[in-house]
Amino acid sequence: MESKKSEVQSLSEQLEDPANHPNAVDLPGEDPDQEALLAKIHVLEERLNNKKEALLEKELVFEEVSNLAEKLRT
């Protein structure tokens, strides 16, 4: 019984090991360092804030146009 458990354990470990997968491929390249990642996050946050600001401006313009259009209808 114990030998079956150890055999099952061994087979499970082999199946779970990603290196044994037939389609496993090592990707080229390097991971950026912490400083580069923080710089990229900062740039992306600035872009996001700019987009949010532009969206708010467009929403305000839309509200004004909607109000003017409503006044013209009445």
Answer yes or no: is 2 within a domain. no
Whole-model pTM: value is 0.56
Answer yes or no: is 52 within a domain. yes
Rounded distance between C-alpha atoms, residue 56 and residue 16, angstroms:
49
Q: How many residues does this entry show for the chain? A: 74
Please give the pLDDT value at position 47.
98
Please give the pLDDT value at position 50.
98
Please give the pLDDT value at position 13.
86
Answer yes or no: is 24 within a domain. no
Q: Positive or negative, the Cα torsion across 33, 37, 42, 46?
A: positive
Number of domains in the chain: 1
Answer yes or no: is 70 within a domain. yes
Q: Which domain holds residue 59?
A: 32-74
Answer yes or no: is 21 within a domain. no
Please give the pLDDT value at position 71.
93
Answer yes or no: is 58 within a domain. yes
Q: Which stretches of the chain drop beneath a pLDDT of 50?
A: none
Please give the pLDDT value at position 35.
97
What does each C-alpha distance from 48 to 31, 35, 43, 44 come to in angstroms? 24, 20, 9, 6
Rounded distance between C-alpha atoms, residue 1 and residue 14, angstroms:
20
